[in-house]
């Protein structure tokens, strides 16, 4: 029996005003700005941007917008579950650019 892949929703919380502005601009360029105040697994409210998928996390880490110290990444598995702080497990591969034919 094949192992079922877990599906997560991804969120980013800016820690500085300049990071907030840069992340909002970065997401606005892709027309994907969705902000929420969600509760984390420790019971603290977090003002986060919801990301369309994990590729945005890789783009943040590999962009020159901000250092990883300027934002926190969260994920959640269910729609109503609390968000959980995500620590980068190791090197994240750069997103592959699509080749236009």
Digit-coded pLDDT (tens) for 12-66: 999 888 888 888 888 887 777 788 999 999 999 999 999 988 888 888 777 755 5
In a domain, 37, yes or no: yes
DSSP label at residue 83: B
Is 100 contained in some domain? Answer: no
**4 occurs within a structural domain:** no
2 domain residue, yes or no: no
**What span, in angstroms and rounded, lies between the C-alpha atoms of 53 and 68?**
18
What's the pLDDT score for residue 40? 95
**8 A C-beta contact, residue 12 and residue 71:** yes
Which CATH number goes with the domain that contains 23? 3.30.70
Neighbouring residues of 35: CB distance < 8 A, sequence distance ≥ 6:
47, 48, 49, 50
pLDDT of residue 93: 60
Indicate the pLDDT class of residue 2, thresholds 50, 70 and 90. Answer: low
- Inside any domain, residue 101: no
Count of domains for the chain = 1
Which residues constitute the domain of residue 45? 9-85
95 within some domain: no
Q: Does residue 94 form part of some domain?
A: no
Q: What band does 87 get if pLDDT is binned at 50, 70 and 90?
A: confident
The answer to the question of residue 35 being in a domain is: yes
Size of the chain in residues? 101
Q: Of 44-48, 74-78, 95-99, which gets the smallest average pLDDT? A: 95-99
């Amino acid at each position: 029996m094949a192992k079922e892949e877990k599906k997560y929703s991804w969120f980013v919380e800016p820690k500085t005003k300049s990071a907030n502005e840069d992340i909002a601009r970065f997401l606005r360029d892709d027309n994907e700005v969705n902000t929420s105040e969600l509760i984390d697994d420790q019971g603290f409210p977090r003002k986060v941007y919801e990301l369309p998928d994990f590729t945005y996390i890789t783009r943040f880490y590999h962009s020159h917008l901000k250092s990883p110290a300027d934002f926190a990444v969260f994920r959640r598995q269910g729609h109503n579950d609390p968000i959980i702080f995500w620590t980068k497990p190791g090197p994240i591969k750069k997103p592959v650019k699509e080749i236009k034919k």
